[in-house]
Structure 1
């Protein structure tokens, strides 16, 4: 087993964690989940989920990671709970699963950077997406994207991930700010801001029917459609339930405040998601595109169509898709690091060998998604509705009821806070956060297996 690395600086850890959180979940998924599920109404539920559920859950993952200084599976054994290793296994498998199709979308982004330079999609944006999103070309681009991810992870924590994210994250923020300012100047963009920022509170209703049915309760009302996607979007965009935050926290060498670090990460991540919305949604309204149309492919159809009709469209297209590419890479490297960390912690293998081997396995799992977008839709839906909430729920149960007080002590280390703050966090994990995740998982299972309205599953 090789000597375990640590972050060179606290800023390096924070930027790496922000980079893990800030990815396609923010720039690909978030604007179009928001557009599809009611604009500002979805945004309200998402913000509640991020700060009310995501932040305490992130602290739970940080506690396990820093306490153990080991990978997402070995962490549970090192702190004395070997029988709970299955929670780490679920997180690792969830990240492995998500990266397999995430890389396919990363390949699309690579293609659109080139397409923006040449204006290749300007004549027929929908036809262009159909031609490059599946089949041999999509497989080739999937391979190129995974090769980039493998190359960064192979260099290690300080020389690979930390240096890359120190460049990537500030670049993402700066470019999105510039694009949001530019979008504000577009004629016809004003209704987009109203749609994105003015919620319809009448939509925030959830009804419960206790008539016997699967699984004994039937949920209805607008919130029944919004909650599972908003909460899972929070998990996806914060890289929770994938083993990433446990793994990144395991490289902390010191008594930094986990409260301060997690709050910084969540605020940065949320701000970048909102910035992406302030670019994409006004742009769609300016071009007369119906919100939510196109599903996951909308970023590559609706936005690309808009670039074809504006001044300097090629330049703006290149800049936009470059920032999407950087964001995709910053998250993808964290997901690959989860499985690489486990391998190098447990076996006498070199980091480059493991990165190449596991990257190849993930590439292979992603082949169906690259060959047919229907498979990608299925992979993504399963991750959102089942894998992410189930994995986060496992962490919450372990930290809240099994680990308990040692977790509070680890959380308070380096903060200067009293025991009351830690006790409040533990109470939230056991009650509010736990119930929120259980509700999300229940609604997700209803969608997958209980005959819930399939319209709430977004098509490609």
Structure 2
């Protein structure tokens, strides 16, 4: 694999992985998942899921990728377990389905940047969202966003992905931090902080079946787990990099961005509305925030800054989602990377047209990914790492690491026992939720 591209530096890998993790899930979805699932109660479950489930699973993807030096599908064959390549195939499907609707939301972001410059959404935020969220404008913006994504991936790992994320990830932090400081001066901000940071344990106990699946799905989505992204990215790593240290940095930085997003969104909403919207639907972030921006001093400028951050976050994740199938096809067939990225990107763009025409279809894509595909992919991967690949992956985790063999032993048993139980339960709850939404079940089944 000496002819395969590699990261030019460890920082480049970390920023690329952070860029993949830091996306619309952190800034668009997280605050409104929090709002529609009990506020700080959801935050507690989400943080537990990130550190107790997400971090160990991320290390599992890292060791598979670096050990094999292959994409998400070929990695299993390279390790001698070709029959398990279906797990990588599931990850590729998850990436494809996600990008098909994710790019539509990325197109909304482009429309809102235009609206920030022209003041288009300042008069009637709801009407503006209705105009740009579905129909010809949405299709065109979706195509423009996909063109940006394709262009970056086509340039390659170092000249495209690494260079772009080195620019976008620091910009996300600077802009989000500045916005958080600005909105902290608003009257009513304190109420937003209280809602965000004061968990009601009773809410968790009363609605555990409703909170856990979206919280765990959100954790996996924001960490780019179950998509094969971290397998693909770590396949370009050298043996002297510490996977636990790199994974810790990625998880912490990703979580900080999600938390900072809450420190922007909730003070703004409470300063203007005195509360958060009851619905956490796909367009809530756009309509609620755009409406709030139209009523605060300097709101048009704040809105521009916020939606530029959102664009950087969306692109940093979309390029990783396109990289997964691109790496698979390029590795498997030897086709030119540029042509592969263009062809696959165009295919994804066509698949996303239905979601650009109907936000209801987009919502179903989102639910299927969060509540079915990601838990299923992560459960399968944890079973492979814990029970099939023997100890070779634990040995891989120790390479370049100062954490010691004790850490890898605990990690391996955690992957074997805790992760499958937790994710298996989450998957069952997610399937139940989908059946309820589809009208097949009248109400969730309560056990005990």
User: Is contact 1:135-1:370 (8 Å) kept?
Assistant: yes
1:24-43 → structure 2 map (5 Å cutoff)? 24-43=24-43
Q: Describe the superposition over 1:222-242 as per-residue Cα deviations: whole angstroms up to 9, x where unpaired.
A: 111000000000000000000
Residue 208 of structure 1 aligns with which residue? none
Q: Secondary structure at the match of 1:32?
A: helix
| C-alpha deviation, 1:3, in angstroms | 2.9
1:404 CA displacement: 2.9
- Deviation readout 1:142-189 (Å, 9 max, x if unpaired): 000000000000110010000000010000011111111111111112
2:248 is aligned, of 246, 249, 263, to 263
Task: Work out the CA distance in 2 between the residues paired with 1:400 and 1:26.
Answer: 29
With over 3 angstroms needed to count, the CA separation of the structure-2 counterparts of 1:41 and 1:95, relative to structure 1, is same
2:398 is matched with 412
The answer for the alignment partner of 2:101 in structure 1 is: 101
Contact 1:161/1:333 (CA < 8 Å) preserved in 2? yes
Structure 1 residue 285 and structure 2 residue 254: aligned? no
Q: In the alignment, is the contact (CA less than 8 A) between 1:2 and 1:348 conserved in 2?
A: no
CA distance in 2, matches of 1:454, 1:11: 50
Within the alignment, does 1:393 sit opposite 2:379 as a pair? Answer: yes
Note if contact 1:2-1:345 (Cα within 8 Å) is conserved in structure 2.
Answer: no
Q: Write out aligned runs for 1:133-144 (5 A).
A: 133-144=133-144
Task: Quote how far apart the aligned CAs of 1:435 are.
Answer: 1.2
Instruction: Determine the structure 2 residue equivalent to 1:55.
Output: 55
Distance 1:281 1:392 in 2: 31
Q: Name whichever of 347-356 and 27-36 sits farther off.
A: 347-356
Task: Describe how 1:175-254 pairs up with structure 2 within 5 A.
Answer: 175-205=175-205, 221-254=206-239
Structure 2 CA distance, aligned partners of 1:170 and 1:88? Answer: 31
Q: Specify which of 357, 367, 381 is matched with residue 371 of structure 1.
A: 357
1:315 to 301, 310, 318: 301
**C-alpha separation in 2, matches of 1:225 and 1:11:** 38
Q: What does the per-residue CA deviation read over 1:101-138, in whole Å, with 9 as the maximum and x for residues that have no partner? A: 00000000000001011111111100110111001110
Q: In 2, are the aligned partners of 1:37 and 1:292 still within 8 Å (CA)?
A: no
- Quick one: distance in 1 between partners of 2:442 and 2:319? 33
Question: What is the match of residue 121 of structure 2?
Answer: 121
Partner of 1:338: 324
**1:347-358 aligned within 5 A:** 347-358=333-344
Measured in 1, the distance between the counterparts of 2:277 and 2:57 equals 29
Question: How far apart, in 2, do the equivalents of 1:268 and 1:419 lie?
Answer: 26
Q: CA RMSD in A?
A: 1.5
Q: Distance in 2 between matches of 1:182 and 1:325?
A: 20
- Paired residues, what number? 441
Provide the C-alpha distance between the structure 2 equivalents of 1:452 and 1:224, rounded to a whole number of angstroms. Answer: 17
Select which of 285, 296, 300 maps to 2:282: 296
In 2, the alpha carbon distance for the partners of 1:44 and 1:347 equals 45
Alignment of 1:434-445 (within 5 A): 434-445=420-431
* 1: CA distance, partners of 2:152 / 2:274: 37
Contact 2:244 2:403 in 1 (8 A): no
Work out the CA distance in 1 between the residues paired with 2:223 and 2:154: 23
2 CA distance for matches of 1:348 and 1:422?
Answer: 35
8 Å CA contact 1:385–1:444 kept in 2: the answer is: yes
Q: Is the 8 A contact 1:118 1:314 kept in 2?
A: no
Deviation at 1:432, TM superposition (A): 1.5
Is the aligned partner of 1:147 residue 2:164?
no
**Partner Cα distance (1:416, 1:326) in 2:** 34
Contact kept? 2:42, 2:204, Cα under 8 Å: no
| Residue 435 (structure 2) pairs with residue 449 (structure 1) | yes
SS at match of 2:8: coil
Q: Is the 2:188–2:274 Cα contact (8 Å) retained in structure 1?
A: no
1:418 Cα deviation from its structure 2 partner: 3.0
- What are the ranges of 5 or more consecutive residues in structure 2 without an aligned counterpart? none
Q: CA deviation at 1:312?
A: 1.3
- The answer on whether the counterparts of 1:289 and 1:302 sit within 8 Å (CA) in structure 2 is no
**1-side partners of 2:404 and 2:182: how far apart?**
46
Shift of 1:453: 8.0
Partner Cα distance (1:396, 1:223) in 2: 23
Looking at structure 1, the residues matched to 383 and 71 of structure 2 have their Cα atoms a distance apart, in angstroms, of 19
- What residue ranges of structure 1 are gaps of 5+ in the alignment? 206-220
